[in-house]
Amino acid sequence: MNIPTTSMSVGMCMRVLDINLSVRAQSKLQCLLSRYMTGDRYYHNLRHIEEGLPEVVRLCNLFCMAPHERLLSLFIWLFHDLDKDSISKSAREFVIYAKDEMGLEPELVRFGYRGIYATDHKHNPHNFIIKTILDIDLKRLASPWDEFCQHSRELKLEKTHLGDERFRTWQIEQLRWFLSRKSIYLTGLFCEHELQARANITRALAELGVPP
């Protein structure tokens, strides 16, 4: 099967990774993923999820992952933005689904929970799978400049409740935080994107009228 490089559907990803769910689990998953298609999703939407799926497949194939590792890599990615305003709610949704629909062992449920929580990007996790999921989540920082700007506009549309000034403050804090890190990307799989991401962030801060 030819693996798309820019985007792929959840169903194709599951077939490629040989992940099989019960009919009930599939139905519940479709219901949960429909949240990514609501009208208030401009950035954290299904397009963002589908763009990351080829990278999840690359991760799993590159390291010849065991079935449970493939499943967790996929489901951490699928659930990490399920609630676009609350990582803790997204993580709890995963726990409920993992227990009720997949019957995962408690150790695997805890791993998935920790992986989703790590997507707040405030800490450097030790596990390579989780590190890579975080890198996938930040890949858009290295987009071509026009796309980078479009993503910024989409984020602003999702955060209209903040108002212009508070959003500007939040955006500056986020950009400076990523720029202050020794490396934006945590794994060698994404080191090729480091320079472009830093260039974009530096330019964005300059256009906001603040030093990096």
> Model confidence over 119-152: pLDDT tens digits?
999 988 999 999 999 999 999 999 999 999 999 9
Q: What is the longest distance spanned by two Cα atoms in the chain?
A: 53
Neighbours of 202 (CB within 10 A): 14
pLDDT at 2: 55
| Mean pLDDT, all residues of the chain | 95
Among 53, 47, 46, CA closest to 5: 53
Q: What is the pLDDT of residue 1?
A: 52
What amino acid occupies position 187? T
> In residues, how long is the chain?
212
pLDDT, residue 66, reads: 96
How much is the pLDDT for 211? 87
Its pTM stands at 0.95
Q: Is the pLDDT of residue 166 over 90?
A: yes
pLDDT at 120: 95
* Average pLDDT estimate for 84-98: 97
Instruction: Give CA angle at 51 (85, 34), nearest 5°.
Output: 50
* pLDDT of residue 201 exceeding 90: yes
pLDDT at residue 123, rounded to an integer? 86
Whole-angstrom CA distances from 29 to 10, 21, 24, 98, 128 are 10, 9, 9, 11, 26
Local confidence band at 212 (pLDDT 50, 70, 90 cut-offs): confident
Mean pLDDT computed over 60-87: 96
CA 14 → CA 70, 155, 159, 206, 211, distances in Å? 9, 28, 32, 42, 44
List, in order, residues 6 or more apart from 92 with CB less than 8 Å away.
Answer: none
pLDDT of residue 5: 65
Mean pLDDT within 188-194: 96
